[in-house]
């Protein structure tokens, strides 16, 4: 008797999203716990509501996430922070904490809180399509 081969129904949606992402060459950032519909696409998210698949992000998606987070239209300063978050994550495998964000992004702490109220590092990471920094609650 041969061993039963797993079929898609046995894997569950989380595994299917992971396989799909890997087949497209995308890094899976965090465990997938659900999905969200944004701009007509079903996207995998982690326990904090951040995108789980790095390659799913694009600037149009960032604009929509910002609107949903109550940020409004993204300015050049927003984009500076968002791009910095993505660059650090891509280079080091984790997004920067708030202290590093203020020291290295060129945007000071007060400006960060104005740009991303109520948790600038966490909110900027969500819009940037990276996991919540480990230092955020």
| Active-site pick, 7, 38, 136, 137 | 136
Identify whether the C-beta of residue 17 lies closer than 8 Å to the C-beta of residue 34.
no
DSSP state for residue 54 in the 8-state scheme: G
Roughly what angle, to the nearest 10 degrees, separates helices 59-68 and 120-128? 140
- Here the tokens at position 85 are 């978050």
Q: CA of 66: how far to CAs of 22, 86, 94, in Å?
A: 27, 15, 21
Q: How far is 15 from 32, CA to CA, in rounded Å? A: 8
How many Cα atoms sit within 13 Å of 132 on the Cβ side?
A: 15
Concerning whether 62 is annotated as a catalytic residue, the answer is no
Q: Report residue 69 CA to chain centroid gap.
A: 13
Residues serving a catalytic function are 136
């Amino acid at each position: 008797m041969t061993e039963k081969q797993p079929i898609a129904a046995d894997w569950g949606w989380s595994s299917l999203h992971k396989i799909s992402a890997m087949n497209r060459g995308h890094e899976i950032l965090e465990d997938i716990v659900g999905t969200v519909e944004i701009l007509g696409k079903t996207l995998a998210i982690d326990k904090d509501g951040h995108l789980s698949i790095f390659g799913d992000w694009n600037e149009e998606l960032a604009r929509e996430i910002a609107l949903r987070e109550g940020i409004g239209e993204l300015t050049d300063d927003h984009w500076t922070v968002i791009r910095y978050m993505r660059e650090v994550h891509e280079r080091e495998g984790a997004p920067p904490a708030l202290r590093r964000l203020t020291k290295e992004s060129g945007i000071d702490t007060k400006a960060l809180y104005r740009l991303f109220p109520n948790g600038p590092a966490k909110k900027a990471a969500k819009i940037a399509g990276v996991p919540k920094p480990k230092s955020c609650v």
